[in-house]
Amino acid sequence: MSEPFDTVIHSGLIATADQQFKGDLAIKDGRIVAVAEQIAGGARRIDAGGRIVMPGGIEAHAHIAQESAAGVMTADDYYSGSVSAAFGGNSSFIPFAAQHRGQSIDEVLANYDVRGARSVIDYSYHLIVSDPTEDVLYDQLPRAFARGITSFKVFTTYDLLNLGDAGMLDILTVAREHGAITMVHCENDAMVKWMNRQLAVRGLTAPKYHAVSRPALAEEEAINRAIQLAKLVDTPLFIVHVSTPGGAEIVRREKFNGAKLFAETCPQYLALTREALDRPGMEGAKFICSPPVRDHETQDALWHHVAQGTFESVSSDHAPYRADESGKFGAGLDAPYPKIANGMPGIAMRLPYLFSEGVVAGRITLEQFVALSATNAAKTFGCTAKGRIAPGMDADLAIWDPEEGWTATLADQHDNMDYTPFEGMRITGKPKLVLNRGAVIVEEGALKALEGQGRFFGRAPADLRVRKGVALPEFDPARNFGVELRR
Ligand SMILES: [Zn+2]
């Protein structure tokens, strides 16, 4: 009789989003087929040696091989970006496929399919919509949805991306019809522009003024507004990169009241403050991202929200622009802050940072870590075969040494960047072995994956079972419009 299992991982501490137990698991044809106290056999036996066996991370917010609206290409393509993600304990990711004005969605996806083919881990896309023409709304988005691209992203700021409230309502309404979830970048555009003018007329354009120019209130106002827009048409909303206690409070309250609402924060808002932007010369430019990093009180408040369940995920928002003319300084090495590319890298640091400062520091449990790193993203973004350890699920796994101490350096990132904002940070805990569909992709600091072995995966709609939504009497398409909303 042939060997029933391709791989057996034994003697591990298996951690899921709701329990941890000593046990073994068996893999066949890329999927988990058994989980038990002891499993014999296996063509390959991997001794976890008491270390933690958990679902491989799902990175749900990353900018990979993406041109910004201003035309600057990220430093990481799907090869380097996925390699960096894998070293950081991720088995899959969902970067953005970005529509620029004038482009059709079909063209966008065709471009990203070529780019994505280089990935070493499984991938899907969130679709950024910046030009919601009639054809996009009623023909192209439904086609994208039909191939499993079930999340759209919109912006409330940036001139080339901002759809305005009415544009957002149009997208939300299309999303409603198809069961898609809409992600939104929340900052009040007028507040940011007004602050920019106040600073510019006074010649205050050094990197540190970036943080001044984007007040916490701008985020809070836009988060509140986006939630109310989504409630009007009763459709799920995902607030990306929440960076303020006020924003997090609004999310918590609206979730408590039943809104179809999801949210994330990112390690940079937990780990860094605006003091980083005040480094000498243009060093501060490396820490420019939007919304900006804030202060110590904000860090404490956001950690509290992470621990209390306000956020489904902690995502990296990996937006890699090198500190040279190819990235941050496309407008010159002494560019004023509004012309410096926004974003910082961190896809390899998301999970080690969250494990070290979360689990090891005692702020969250190991189960919460699994939920925040993989399981919740799978539920929110419809990755039905990923993010859990159970028979039938993809064998996307990471084995972590919870005790290994190390200091973050650029070399550990395995990306195409020339800096890491986490340089010199002391970390406890490290992913030692990472698998994607049963194939070992990283082992003891060495890449084992081949370019292009990752696969695109289509996704289902968000799991809304505990989110009933808010029924408004004024918005009842069947009653008030006579028909379900369409064009
Ligand atoms: Zn982002």
Determine the pLDDT at residue 473: 80
| Coil, strand or helix at 379 | helix
- What is the CA(40)–ligand 1 centre distance, in A? 44
The answer to whether 373 and 351 are in contact (CB under 8 A) is yes
User: In a 10 Å sphere around its CB, with 0-12 CB exposed, 13-18 middle and 19+ buried, how is residue 179 labelled?
Assistant: middle
d(CA 319, CA 279): 20
Please check whether residue 231 lies inside any domain of the structure. yes
Please check whether residue 82 lies inside any domain of the structure. yes
> Mean pLDDT throughout 196-202?
98
Determine the pLDDT at residue 368: 98
User: In a 10 Å sphere around its CB, with 0-12 CB exposed, 13-18 middle and 19+ buried, how is residue 32 labelled?
Assistant: buried
* CA separation, residue 257 to residues 208, 227, 471 (Å): 38, 12, 12
| pLDDT tens, position by position, 231-259 | 999 999 999 999 999 999 999 999 999 99
What is the pLDDT of the chain when averaged over all its residues? 95
Determine the pLDDT at residue 471: 78
Determine the pLDDT at residue 355: 98
Determine the pLDDT at residue 479: 67
d(CA 356, CA 427): 6
> Mean pLDDT throughout 380-387?
98
Residue 275 neighbours by CB under 8 Å, 6+ apart: none
Please check whether residue 460 lies inside any domain of the structure. no
Q: Answer whether the bond into residue 291 is a cis peptide, omega within 30°.
A: yes
* CA separation, residue 33 to residues 39, 390, 412, 413 (Å): 11, 8, 33, 32
- What is the CA(342)–ligand 1 centre distance, in A? 9
Helix ranges (H only) for 348-467 are 350-354, 366-370, 376-380
- What is the CA(391)–ligand 1 centre distance, in A? 33
Please check whether residue 438 lies inside any domain of the structure. no
Please check whether residue 196 lies inside any domain of the structure. yes
- What is the CA(95)–ligand 1 centre distance, in A? 9
* CA separation, residue 365 to residues 1, 57, 386 (Å): 43, 16, 21
- What is the CA(345)–ligand 1 centre distance, in A? 10
| pLDDT tens, position by position, 81-102 | 999 999 999 999 999 999 999 9
| pLDDT tens, position by position, 431-443 | 999 999 999 999 9
Please check whether residue 465 lies inside any domain of the structure. no
Q: Which amino acid is at 349?
A: M
- What is the CA(158)–ligand 1 centre distance, in A? 13
Beta strand pairing call for 44-47 and 52-55:
unpaired
- pLDDT above 80: residue 163: yes
The encoded tokens of residue 167 equal 């544009």
Domain tally for the chain?
1
Q: Tell me the residue range of the domain where 220 lies.
A: 56-381
Helix ranges (H only) for 63-118 are 78-87, 105-116
| pLDDT tens, position by position, 102-147 | 999 999 999 999 999 999 999 999 999 999 999 999 999 999 999 9
- What is the CA(13)–ligand 1 centre distance, in A? 33
- What is the CA(296)–ligand 1 centre distance, in A? 22
C-alpha gyration radius of the chain: 22
d(CA 159, CA 100): 12
- pLDDT above 90: residue 80: yes
User: In a 10 Å sphere around its CB, with 0-12 CB exposed, 13-18 middle and 19+ buried, how is residue 311 labelled?
Assistant: buried
d(CA 135, CA 70): 24
- What is the CA(481)–ligand 1 centre distance, in A? 36
- What is the CA(226)–ligand 1 centre distance, in A? 17
d(CA 404, CA 410): 18
> Mean pLDDT throughout 198-215?
97
Any idea what DSSP says for residue 460?
P
- pLDDT above 60: residue 487: no
Cα angle: 290, vertex 254, 388; to 5 degrees: 75
d(CA 384, CA 386): 6
- What is the CA(344)–ligand 1 centre distance, in A? 9
| pLDDT tens, position by position, 337-383 | 999 999 999 999 999 999 999 999 999 999 999 999 999 999 999 99
- What is the CA(62)–ligand 1 centre distance, in A? 6
Please check whether residue 210 lies inside any domain of the structure. yes
- What is the CA(152)–ligand 1 centre distance, in A? 13
The candidate with the shortest Cα–Cα distance to 359, out of 344, 343, 372, is 372
- What is the CA(63)–ligand 1 centre distance, in A? 6
The candidate with the shortest Cα–Cα distance to 58, out of 481, 448, 477, 393, is 393
- Sign of the C-alpha dihedral computed for residues 78, 79, 85 and 90 taken in this order: positive
Please check whether residue 261 lies inside any domain of the structure. yes
* CA separation, residue 265 to residues 243, 465, 479 (Å): 7, 23, 38
The encoded tokens of residue 263 equal 């949210």
d(CA 382, CA 101): 28
Determine the pLDDT at residue 468: 82
| pLDDT tens, position by position, 23-40 | 999 999 999 999 999 999
The pLDDT confidence band at residue 481, using thresholds 50, 70 and 90, is low
- What is the CA(332)–ligand 1 centre distance, in A? 23
- pLDDT above 90: residue 148: yes
- What is the CA(216)–ligand 1 centre distance, in A? 17
Residues 183-206 as b or e (16 or more Cβ within 10 Å = b): bbbbbbbebbeebbeebeeeeebb
d(CA 341, CA 286): 9
- What is the CA(61)–ligand 1 centre distance, in A? 6
- What is the CA(60)–ligand 1 centre distance, in A? 10
Q: Which residue has the higher pLDDT, 466 or 352?
A: 352
Give the CATH number of the domain where residue 274 resides: 3.20.20.140
- What is the CA(317)–ligand 1 centre distance, in A? 5
- What is the CA(266)–ligand 1 centre distance, in A? 10
The pLDDT confidence band at residue 197, using thresholds 50, 70 and 90, is very high
The pLDDT confidence band at residue 482, using thresholds 50, 70 and 90, is low
- Residue 122 belongs to what H/E stretch? strand 122-123
Cα angle: 396, vertex 402, 405; to 5 degrees: 120
Q: How many CB atoms lie within 10 A of CB 432?
A: 18
